[in-house]
Amino acid sequence: MVLAVRDLAVTRGGMAILEGVSFDLSPGEALVLRGPNGVGKTTLLRSVAGLQPVEAGTVTGAEDQMAYAGHSDGLKAMLSVTENLKFWASVFAVKDIESALHSFDLIELRNRMAGTLSAGQKRRLGLARLMVTGRPIWVLDEPTVSLDVASVALFAEAVRGHLRSGGSALMATHIDLGLEEARVLDLTPFKASPRARHMDEAFL
Amino acid sequence: MSALLLRDLVLSIRAGGGFGLGLAFFLIVTVLVPFGVGPQTDLLARIAPGILWIGALLACLLSLDRILALDWEDGTLDLLATAPLPVESIVTVKALAHWITTGLPLVLAAPVLGVLLSLPLPAYQWVVISLALGTPALSVIGTFGAALTVGLKRGGLLMSLLVLPLYVPTLIFGAEVARRGAEGLTVQTPLLLLAGISFGVIALLPFASAAVLRINLR
């Protein structure tokens, strides 16, 4: 499934921030979005994920094909690592959670409550969730926040495995993941000229 | 869907889950009213159906802001919205989980607490029946209020103000069933109206809740 973004324009807080963004993402490909803080990486990813209306342009091929991971991991503090993963696996009708636990080195933590994990461990659990979605397109917003070097390597390996199995990944990140095959898209040239959005949409 | 329901039920009985919050509030109200009104059993018996209904309604209201706010704060709602579950089924499951953890215990506790209020003997079955029929409507309407105010900091006050007027019809007909039952009158009309309200909101309101939730998630 090819994710195709054409002439996308997005707004944040009523201000246009990006316009004319176009790219394709084919199976087996990874695309890294770069740009300074505030350029609109998160807004673009949320629009691709369908969590936010687009101002102009189209996103095709994302619906029901993509797994989104944002700034928050969506973990329940009072559920154990296994219970958290099992919940998401059953939401996405996937049976196997063991490979996800292995990939992110969570086997020893599996019976701990998610609330007692460190920030980096929580993040690893949040990323392991992607593997139990069974979705081909991963949309990742700053996936490596609070991960140490070893965990970043685990994550890069998981992404690589995902690409090998015909998946694709779209991510915004500031650090180098060591994914040589990933293309890089700098969003700075797509910055929108400042203008206000239509007022009546402020309520929608 | 069953996974979401199961998770919500497990979360509610774990530490800090809030199971029993409504029940404890209901208990406090019905225990305190006889102290406040005084030991006049005939007066208590007359107001008992209404007190039980008001207590149940406020107990429901107390736990509404937990329905969606917790999932909003930790990002679960965003992730659920991109999951294969339709938003309509998410809000329906949330309302069902709220009813099982809050409404159902109130229905079961009402006859026990009725003793404290000298509830007349013929009223017991009608209090239970009217609460069993009415509390699902309270949960569904409450989920709508929670969906309207999700994402607002300290949205609880606004939600109470929005939800209370919507609760009034349920309260009127629910308490009327219990009152008529207590006096041995025929309960058919208010019972049918209460059932109409309940089934109506269960059938229609999840779509409204889903629509406002989609807007709020943007």
Residues in chain A: 204
CB contact under 8 A, A93 and B81: no
Q: Looking at chain B from residue 72 to 111, which residues have their Cβ under 8 Å from any Cβ of chain A? A: 73-76, 78-85
Residue boundaries of the structural domains of chain B: 2-217
CB contact under 8 A, B82 and A90: no
Contact B162, B149 (CB under 8 A): yes
Please list the ranges in chain B whose pLDDT falls under 50.
none
Contacts of A79 in chain B (CB under 8 A): 7, 10-11, 14
Which phi and psi angles does A157 have, rounded to 5°? -65, -40
CA of B153 vs chain A CAs: smallest distance (Å): 17
- C-alpha to C-alpha distance for B37 and A95, rounded to whole angstroms: 58
SS3 of B120-148: the string is CCCHHHHHHHHHHHHHHHHHHHHHHHHHH
Contacts of B19 in chain A (CB under 8 A): none
What is the structure's pLDDT at A178? 76
Better-scored residue on pLDDT, B91 or A189? B91
Q: Pick from B4, B79, B84: which is nearest to A74 by CB?
A: B79
What is the structure's pLDDT at A125? 92
- Inter-chain contacts counted by CB atoms under 8 A, chains A and B: 70
- C-alpha to C-alpha distance for A114 and A85, rounded to whole angstroms: 10
Is 60 exceeded by the pLDDT of residue A199?
no
CB contact under 8 A, B74 and A79: no
- C-alpha to C-alpha distance for A140 and B102, rounded to whole angstroms: 37
A59: helix, coil or strand? Answer: strand
Q: Pick from A74, A86, A91: which is nearest to B75 by CB?
A: A74
Domains of chain A as residue ranges with CATH: 29-51+63-180 (3.40.50.300)
What is the structure's pLDDT at B39? 85
What is the structure's pLDDT at A179? 78
Better-scored residue on pLDDT, A177 or B29? B29
Is 70 exceeded by the pLDDT of residue A194?
no
Is 60 exceeded by the pLDDT of residue A196?
no
Helix (H) or strand (E) holding B108: helix B104-114
What is the structure's pLDDT at A61? 82
CA-to-CA separations, B169 to A51, A130, B129, B160, in angstroms, rounded: 35, 45, 17, 16
CA-to-CA separations, B190 to A39, B63, B193, B197, B203, in angstroms, rounded: 59, 27, 5, 10, 20
Is 90 exceeded by the pLDDT of residue A181?
no
Amino acid type, B102: T
Structure-block tokens of residue B63:
């736990």
Is 80 exceeded by the pLDDT of residue A193?
no
What is the structure's pLDDT at B55? 94
What is the structure's pLDDT at A195? 58
Does the beta carbon of B158 lie under 8 angstroms from any beta carbon of chain A?
no
On the CB side of B17, CA atoms within 13 Å amount to 18
Which residue on chain B is closest to A130 by alpha carbon? B79
CA of A134 vs chain B CAs: smallest distance (Å): 11
Is 60 exceeded by the pLDDT of residue A197?
no
Q: What confidence tens digit (pLDDT) does each residue in A113-135 have? A: 998 999 999 999 999 999 999 89
What is the structure's pLDDT at B144? 95
Average pLDDT (A183-196) is 79
ipTM confidence score:
0.84
CB contact under 8 A, A76 and B76: yes
